[in-house]
Structure 1
Amino acid sequence: MSKINWKFYRPYRDKLIDKKNEILSRIFDKNKKDINLVPSKIKRILFLRTDGKIGDYITSSFIFREIKKNYPNIQIDVVADKSLENLLKLNPNIDKYYILNRKKMHEWRNIVKVLRKNKYDVLFDSTEGLKYKQVYLLNRVNAIVNVGYNKDDYKIYNKNIKQNNTLKMIQIYRQMMKSVNVEIKDTKYDVPISEESKKNVAKFLEENNVKDKIIALNFFGASRGRKINEENALIIIKRLGEMYKDYTIIILDSPNDRETIYNILKKTDNKNVLFFEKSKTILDSISIINSSDLVVSLDTSILHIAEGLNKKIMAFYGPKINKNKWRIKEEENILIDYTESRINDVDFEKVFDKLSYENNLSAI
């Protein structure tokens, strides 16, 4: 039996999945009338964060704080994928959160039975993609107002913010809130710091005699094409060591890539490279970033956490559509754009040669 050629199979599989999503979404796409709500009439809001994207949650974190500050009587609930649970439990501005495994339909059905009893005034769905499970949830929860982003073709969203590639995602979030007459002024991120993680990381740094001059280094994005291999990781460590002498480099954890991390540690000749082996959750990475002077990453969740903690950042951005919405601020940071579709096709020696040259010019 011949093997399946996955390279040619995936596009057809993806098309079938998209078609399935479209057909099932239309079944649950219930028409809703446009209603103008005022904050004084809003009692309960539900935020949909079922995509499980940590960076998106951090970027939108100011919303919960600002609602509670200006409208303390509004109850804020969040339904989210389990990957966000450790962050949600530390947010004092969220009244109640519900966790599900987004891949299991029976969990969606069970959570809907609970949520529909809460009689929400507003449901916010800022996810960019659309799965039929989201439309199913909106249909069954039946909030008075459903606010969406880039959901022009769906009737179930009676408030919709159109896609605008010139705006930052923060501005889009503000527009979504304004659609129900909630004004947002302060957009500073809320990045949760776990006291337990903070103590554990402090102990790790003390045991390794690290007091300052720390670089938090992330090698791994969510997709396979954004995971740096051992060869390139060693180049990056070597060049960072040349640019930032006497700095300690701490590799941030990625549970699915631990074997790669251990191989990198074995092969590097830089003795100032560490890894916090006891890391358990994203909260440990946040504590390491909070102790750092520079954060180097290609993963947007790490970049948004670092930006929220006001850290100097070196960011790698690939040729993604609409990437400007998610870009961190350029002031005082180093933003490196690469045109290759896969991160490991980037010539990192050339990238760091250019950085070193630019640094020398700026120092003159």
Structure 2
Amino acid sequence: MNKMNWKFYRPYRDKLVDKKNEILSRIFDKNKKDINLSSSKINKILFLRTDGKIGDYIISSFIFREIKKNYPNIKIDIIADKSLENLLKLNKNIDTYYIINRKSIKDWKIVSKKLKKNNYSVLFDSTEGLKYKQVYLLNKVNAKINVGYNKDDYKIYNKNIKQNNTLKMIEIYKQMLKSVNIDVTDTRYDVPISEESEKNINEFLKKNNVTGKIIALNFFGASRGRKINEENALIIIKRLRKMYDKYKIVILDSPNDRETIYSILEKTDNKNVLFFEKSQTILDSISIIKKSDLVVSLDTSILHIAEGLNKKIMAFYGPKINKNKWRIKEENNILIDYPENRINDVDFEKIFDNLKV
């Protein structure tokens, strides 16, 4: 199918997928009576993190720490997409994690059968979208209380926090916990640090004689419209080198965009622009960010990791996330809003001309 046909076909395909999700979700959307549990009556909690979003997981990371600290008798389990596995391995506050392929209904059926035996007191589902597989899992696991976010139209969530784009997501998470009488106050993120990654990045920086300040630079968001092309990447590097002439730049890895990264490196000053090509996981990027003095990114997962590590940040925000609940704090950071839907329509020369740093 050529690009032109795909452009016209895709909206119809998306509508059919949405309709399928709605019909199948209603089949498993059984009515659950609203009940109230005191925190002392909660034994086991299951968290759904099946959207695979690293940034969302980082923001919610305080939840696991604070529950274990304040309610040590509560067992915490999480079901997640494979993209979170390396982060979950390092979280000592999670008792058991289950990794599934979220596109495989077979995986959902197998894990639902396992989880049903655990007799959960509470299930938290903070994902914004809704797929019928989620409703299927809630139906089969049958926790006493299902807490949802923006799930107003579904009966299977007997606790629901309404959508509110004026609140930061941290406050929404706190409201979800409060709905089952769990109170937390410390909302600092827990960013996992890998000893192996720390060792590898230290060796990489030493090999490249990096002793001064560092900029960690990310060019690639999750969607195609948020991946910076080679031409704009070179403009950004040129302007950053001019603004921060004493800094070294380390480009963060994006496995699907390695070809673009190598092409960028060929066209720029490799003595001051580096890339850790042995990178294996997001944990390597975390260790680079930890060593950095400035993090430049349009990808929200990198932004939230940097925020959790208290780094100075230059963030690029498109129109969909200009002012919403996922936005990082503005204090001491450089937040750049652009009106275009696609990042490569942005005039980066003009943006840097207007920056006041």
User: Taking structure 2 as the reference length, what is the TM-score of the superposition?
Assistant: 0.98
- Map residues 267-282 of structure 1 onto 2, 5 A cutoff: 267-269=267-269, 271-282=271-282
- Map residues 145-160 of structure 1 onto 2, 5 A cutoff: 145-160=145-160
How far does the alpha carbon of each residue in 1:12-45 deviate from its partner, in whole angstroms, 9 at most, with x for none? Answer: 1110000000000000001000010111000000
How far does the alpha carbon of each residue in 1:167-194 deviate from its partner, in whole angstroms, 9 at most, with x for none? Answer: 0000000000000000010000000000
Paired residues of 2:321 and 2:327 also in contact (CA < 8 A): no
Partner residue, 1:62: 62
Q: Distance in 2 between matches of 1:99 and 1:2?
A: 36
Secondary structure, counterpart of 2:319 in structure 1: coil
Partner residue, 2:43: 43
* Structure 1 runs not aligned, ≥5 long: 360-364
Q: Distance in 1 between matches of 2:150 and 2:323?
A: 15
Partner residue, 2:286: 286
Partner residue, 1:132: 132
Secondary structure, counterpart of 2:249 in structure 1: strand
Q: 1:186 to 1:141 in 2, by over 3 A?
A: same
Q: Distance in 2 between matches of 1:254 and 1:214?
A: 19
Partner residue, 1:362: none
Partner residue, 1:95: 95
Q: Distance in 2 between matches of 1:4 and 1:310?
A: 45
Partner residue, 2:81: 81
- Equivalent position amino acid for 1:330 in 2: E
Secondary structure, counterpart of 1:320 in structure 2: helix
Q: Could you tell me how far 1:322 is from its partner in structure 2?
A: 7.7
Q: Could you tell me how far 1:323 is from its partner in structure 2?
A: 4.7
User: Taking structure 1 as the reference length, what is the TM-score of the superposition?
Assistant: 0.96
Partner residue, 1:16: 16
How many residues are treated as equivalent by the alignment?
357
Partner residue, 2:190: 190
Partner residue, 1:311: 311
How far does the alpha carbon of each residue in 1:278-306 deviate from its partner, in whole angstroms, 9 at most, with x for none? Answer: 00000000000000000000000000000
1:34 aligns with 2:34: yes
Query: 304-313 vs 268-277, which deviates more?
Result: 268-277
Q: Distance in 1 between matches of 2:162 and 2:3?
A: 44
- Map residues 91-240 of structure 1 onto 2, 5 A cutoff: 91-240=91-240
How far does the alpha carbon of each residue in 1:214-248 deviate from its partner, in whole angstroms, 9 at most, with x for none? Answer: 00000000000000000000000000000001210
- Equivalent position amino acid for 1:150 in 2: N
Q: Distance in 2 between matches of 1:270 and 1:242?
A: 15
Partner residue, 1:249: 249
Q: Could you tell me how far 1:166 is from its partner in structure 2?
A: 0.7
Q: Distance in 1 between matches of 2:219 and 2:2?
A: 35
* Structure 2 runs not aligned, ≥5 long: none
- Equivalent position amino acid for 1:126 in 2: S
List, as ranges, runs of 4+ consecutive aligned residues in structure 1 with deviation greater than 4 Å: 1-4
Q: Could you tell me how far 1:338 is from its partner in structure 2?
A: 0.3
Q: 1:320 to 1:284 in 2, by over 3 A?
A: same
What's the Cα RMSD here? 1.2
Q: Could you tell me how far 1:4 is from its partner in structure 2?
A: 6.4
Q: Sequence identity of aligned pairs in percent?
A: 82
